[in-house]
Amino acid sequence: MSNVNVAIVGATGAVGTKILEKLLARKFPINSIKLLASKRSAGKEIVANDQRFIVEETQPEAFEGVDIAFFSAGGHISEMFAEEAVKRGAVVIDNTSAFRMVEAIPLVVPEVNLDALRQHKGIIANPNCSTIQMVAALQPIREKFGLKRLVVSTYQAVSGAGAEAIAELEAQTKKFETRADIKAELLPSADGEKHYPIAFNAIPQIDAFDDSGYTLEELKMMNETKKIFGLPELQISATCVRLPIVTGHSESVYIELDQEGVSVDDLRGVLSHAPGIVLQDDFMAQSYPMPLFAEGKDEIFVGRLRKDPDHPTGFHLWIVADNLLKGAALNSVQIAESLITIRTS
């Protein structure tokens, strides 16, 4: 496939800017790049890799001549414009939750289910950021030993909620001098819901609750993991927590394998050779993954491997990744790279 014409919808957002940076840094075969955003952002200049781009308003006709369109501007924008892009010949790689659980639309992490790309009909869904790093880290284990149950608790950075959340954390960190100050703060919300301060806090709610008591973020992880692995019978539960960290999601994951007699060294062996995985697992040297040091890195970091003391096939892992990169922008770009490889093979 020759060089392609690319569009990025939501180009001024946290993920959109990272998609542009990754396309240029990885020397994606580009003929042209079109940056699209809201009418309010039209005309804005963006500089990346010493190149200057002018943002255009997202309109159906903007997708004329586009080969690959990355969407990262919210589910409602994807629902409005993704089909318009497909009608005009583009393949859409959508970074929102709009199409993830649509049966006919592939939900792809290239290290896990690359073959699913061959079934796309114009739209490909990029999974939730927390799901991506977890399934990519667990895939080599699942392939070798099988997987029947997992329980995950996430510790998610505010950048997962966008640029406004980062600004809120920074403002609160500067504003509050004591814990008493922040305990008295309950920020107003336009829809009447409580909006707790994030600075010096941990909020065990990401997205809205449903009737089951799980949040939509937790349900995304549970349902997306089953779809990506092709394991509808997989036993999985999630708890998602927001922490006052700017970038980098962390996850404590408990797994139960199908195969018995597996050791921690066996898990280390498969993880040490897995693509995109960096094993940091030397507790004696205090070597383990941390979000501060994962920021800006493409890899997924895995450590704190332990055998469960009570279950014969149970293990615990700690998984960390930059949620804006492998959790979003990088995975989207890798999907596009894989598309080109498939088309030219």
Q: Where in the sequence numbering do the catalytic residues fall? A: 129, 249
Query: What span, in angstroms and rounded, lies between the C-alpha atoms of 345 and 343?
Result: 6
Burial of 149 (0-12, 13-18, 19+ CB in 10 A): middle
Query: What span, in angstroms and rounded, lies between the C-alpha atoms of 167 and 159?
Result: 9
Residues 6+ apart with CB under 8 A from 271: 137, 140, 141, 277, 279, 302, 305
CA dist list (Å): 63 to 66, 69, 280, 343: 5, 8, 43, 21
295: three-class secondary structure by DSSP: coil
Residues 6+ apart with CB under 8 A from 204: 239, 240, 241
What are 314's strand-pairing partners? 256
Range 99-103, long-range pairs (CB < 8 A, 24+ positions): 99/123, 99/125, 100/125, 100/127, 100/128, 100/220, 100/224, 100/227, 101/223, 101/224, 101/227
What are 238's strand-pairing partners? 152
DSSP string, 156-184: E-GGGG-HHHHHHHHHHHHH--SHHHHHT
Query: What span, in angstroms and rounded, lies between the C-alpha atoms of 259 and 247?
Result: 35
Burial of 85 (0-12, 13-18, 19+ CB in 10 A): buried
